[in-house]
Homo-oligomer: A and B are copies of this chain.
Amino acid sequence: MKNTIADIAHKAGVAKSTVSRFLNGGSVSHATRRKIEQVIQETGYIPNSFAQSLKAKKTSMIGTIMPRLDSFSASQTVAGMDEELREHGYQLLIINASQDLSREIEALYDLARQKISGIILFATQVTETHLAAIKEIGIPVLLLGQQHKDVHSMIYNDYAAGYDMGRYVLSKGHRNIAYIGVTEKDVAVGVKRKEGFLKAVSEHVGVEVNLDLYESGFKMSDGVQTALTILQSNRTLPTAVVCATDNIALGVMKAAHMKGIQIPSEISVTGFGGYDVTEVIHPGLTTVKYGYFQAGHLAAQHIIKLVNDEPADLLTVMNCEMIHRESVDNLN
User: Contact residues of A with B, CB < 8 Å?
Assistant: 44, 46-51, 53-54, 68-72, 74-76, 78-79, 82-83, 91-96, 98, 109-110, 112-115, 136, 220, 250-251, 253-254, 257, 276-277, 280-282
Shortest Cβ gap from A278 to chain B (Å): 10
Is B50 touching A79 in the complex (CB atoms < 8 A)? no
Residue from the list B46, B93, B115 in contact with A48, Cβ < 8 A:
B115
Q: Which of B49, B68, B98, B136 contacts A44 (CB 8 A)?
A: B136
Given A68-B79, A257-B282: A115 and B50 within 8 A (CB)? yes
A25 to B110, CA, bound (A): 20
Pair B282/A282 contact, Cβ less than 8 Å: yes
Total copies of the chain: 2
Q: Is B76's CB under 8 angstroms from A113's CB?
A: no
Q: Let me know if B110 and A82 touch, CB within 8 A.
A: no
- Contact between A69 and B82, CB atoms less than 8 A apart: yes
Q: How far is the CA of A254 from the CA of B282 in the complex (A)?
A: 8
Question: Do B281 and A280 touch across chains, with their CB atoms under 8 A apart?
Answer: yes
**In the docked arrangement, what's the CA distance between A71 and B281, Å?**
18
Tell me how far the C-beta of A16 lies from the nearest C-beta in chain B, rounded to whole angstroms: 16
Q: Which residues in B have their C-beta under 8 angstroms from that of A281? A: 277, 280-282
What is the CA–CA distance of A32 and B46 in the complex, to the nearest angstrom? 42
- The answer to whether A54 touches B44, judged by C-beta atoms less than 8 angstroms apart, is no
Chain B residues, CB < 8 A from A72: 70
Q: How far is the CA of A281 from the CA of B47 in the complex (A)?
A: 52
CA distance A33 to B235 in the complex (A): 68
Q: Which of B51, B69, B93 contacts A75 (CB 8 A)?
A: B69
Query: Which residue of chain B has its CB nearest to the CB of A82?
Result: B96
Partner of A79, one of B49, B69, B112, B253: B69
> Which residue of B is nearest A83, CB measured?
B98
Assess the B109–A46 pair: CB atoms within 8 A: yes
A281–B277 Cα distance when bound, in Å, is 9
* A201–B61 alpha-carbon span in the complex (Å): 52
- Measured CB to CB, the closest approach of chain B to A90, in angstroms, equals 12
In the complex, chain B residues whose CB is within 8 Å of the CB of A51 = 50, 54
- 14 more A-B contacts (CB under 8 A) besides A92-B95, A93-B94, A277-B281? A44-B136, A49-B113, A50-B53, A50-B115, A51-B54, A69-B75, A69-B78, A74-B75, A82-B96, A93-B93, A220-B276, A220-B280, A251-B280, A257-B282
User: Which residues from chain B contact A70 at a C-beta distance below 8 Å?
Assistant: 72, 75-76, 78-79
A115 to B257, CA, bound (A): 53
Expressed in whole angstroms, the minimum distance between the Cβ of A114 and any Cβ of chain B is: 5
A sample of 13 inter-chain contacts (CB < 8 A) reads: A46-B112, A47-B113, A49-B113, A69-B82, A70-B72, A75-B75, A78-B96, A82-B98, A83-B98, A92-B95, A93-B94, A253-B280, A277-B281
